[in-house]
Amino acid sequence: MVRLVLATLLSLTGAAAPSVDTSAPRLVTAFRLKQVSNAVTTTPDGRTFIGFPHMQGESGMSVAEAGAGHTLRPYPDAAWNDWSTGKNAGQAFVRVNALRIGPDGDLWVVDTGVPGFGKPLVPGGSKVVVIDVHTDKVRRVYPLGGVSNATSYINDIRFHGRRAYITDAGKPGALIVLDLDTGAARRVLDDDPSTTARRAIRAEGKTLIGPDGKQVVINANQLEVSPDGAYLYFQPLSGPLYRVRTRWLDDQALSPRQLSGRVERWVDTPSTGGTAIDADGNIYLSDVDNLRILKISPERHITTVIQDGRLLWPDALWIDNSGYLWIPIAQNNRIAQFQGGRSRVVLPAHIYKLKIDARPALTGRRAAAPRS
């Protein structure tokens, strides 16, 4: 009877009840870390970069490259990883939330510009930093101060052609459309129902409660571009998943109301730590409440890839060229701010790999900018 009720409820959202893929391989430990990581990305030739969010006020690197023996070095150099109050926030990482190898082969780093949980944005701190992995030098910085506000939390980035799409998970929630050639940025779907969280986050079977005693909600967070570049999928952290055609996001002639009317509710997803999309358009999504990874097909069929007690808030997922899904274990719900002042984060922190035999989506690679 319980299964029947669950299937009925899920069918109302346009998606089938999740089924378990019992043939899924198990988790493989890629890294054991002294600090929690929320982001990992790899180059086609096997270089690995790791992001550290400093959610509990830790010091040290924000972005690291892994070397021989899993040694870590600050990337691109120590200066970019040495920001402190009073220093130029435009030339150092304040608080990194996402990184990924972009379609041009460069490392793209998203800096929230917010130095700590609940703290205001540092002037000049919100930005996207592009690093040439061949020279290990910063190629360009895209300041986002013009489309940020004091309560912004610049979150993650995806690409299509000469545009990048970025989520602002702060208040209000929004998407940012960034022209990669000119650097011009626009806020769209600002405070829209699709970018605004309507329900609290649940993790490990519990509703997340903040330091103020209120239920925690986080606005526009995850996003993915379909392999053909036609759609952007996005959601508040607690779901649901929406989609909109990229052509409408790029159309500056549309009014906010017109753009909002073109957004489609896609799947009623759970509280989600991170996502990835493969070359066939399947979206992989971490369900932080039930400690599992889900796969959503382009037809909205849902399967459970793996469910494991070690999947403590998997954050930004990454698919490499060898068919592995990389899974950084962020444990965001276990930090002291959400646990009555006493952290439940377990160290060493882990980054896992899971063989899924999928190819990464290469959206936008054909439109990469020429190197100077």
Of 230, 97, 243, 242, the closest CA to residue 160 belongs to: 230
Q: Alpha carbon of 135 to those of 72, 105, 106, 139, 248: distances in Å?
A: 18, 12, 10, 9, 36
The sign of the torsion formed by the CA atoms of 95, 215, 302, 304 equals positive
Tokens for 177, please give them.
């459309």
Given this model, what pLDDT does residue 116 score? 81
Q: Tokens 């009720």 belong to which residue? A: 5
Given this model, what pLDDT does residue 70 score? 87
- According to DSSP H, which parts of 93-213 are helical? none
Given this model, what pLDDT does residue 169 score? 97
Distinct helix (H) and strand (E) counts, the chain: 3, 27
Given this model, what pLDDT does residue 363 score? 60
Tokens for 164, please give them.
């990048």
Given this model, what pLDDT does residue 6 score? 35
Of 47, 59, 147, the closest CA to residue 100 belongs to: 47
Q: Which residues of the chain have pLDDT under 50?
A: 1-23, 364-372
Domain boundaries, the chain: 21-367
Given this model, what pLDDT does residue 2 score? 35
- According to DSSP H, which parts of 226-342 are helical? 246-249, 256-261
Q: Which helix (H) or strand (E) holds 34?
A: none
Tokens for 250, please give them.
């790029």
Angle at the Cα of 45 (from 40 to 49), degrees rounded to 5?
A: 20
Q: Which helix (H) or strand (E) holds 61?
A: none
Across-strand partners of 6? none
302 CB-near residues (< 8 Å, 6+ apart): 10, 15, 16, 17, 18, 19, 267, 294, 295, 296
Q: What is the fold, at CATH topology level, of the domain defined by 21-367?
A: Neuraminidase (2.120.10)
Q: Cβ distance 316 to 224 under 8 Å?
A: no
Phi, psi dihedrals of residue 268, rounded to the nearest 5°: -85, 90
Q: Alpha carbon of 262 to those of 141, 248, 265: distances in Å?
A: 32, 8, 10
Look at residue 90 and give its three-state secondary structure: helix
Q: How high does pLDDT run on average in the chain?
A: 91
Q: Alpha carbon of 193 to those of 176, 271, 287: distances in Å?
A: 16, 17, 22
Q: Alpha carbon of 40 to those of 98, 116, 324: distances in Å?
A: 8, 21, 12
Distance separating alpha carbons of residues 204 and 202, to the nearest angstrom: 7
Verdict on whether the full-model pTM lies above 0.95: no
Burial environment of residue 209 by CB neighbours within 10 A (0 to 12, 13 to 18, 19 or more):
middle
131 CB-near residues (< 8 Å, 6+ apart): 75, 76, 106, 107, 108, 109, 137, 138, 139
Q: Left, alpha or beta for 57 (phi > 0: left; psi -120 to 50: alpha)? A: left
Q: Alpha carbon of 203 to those of 57, 237, 240, 265: distances in Å?
A: 22, 11, 16, 23
Phi, psi dihedrals of residue 246, rounded to the nearest 5°: -65, -30
Look at residue 227 and give its three-state secondary structure: coil
pLDDT tens-digit profile of 259-292? Answer: 999 999 999 999 999 999 999 999 999 999 999 9
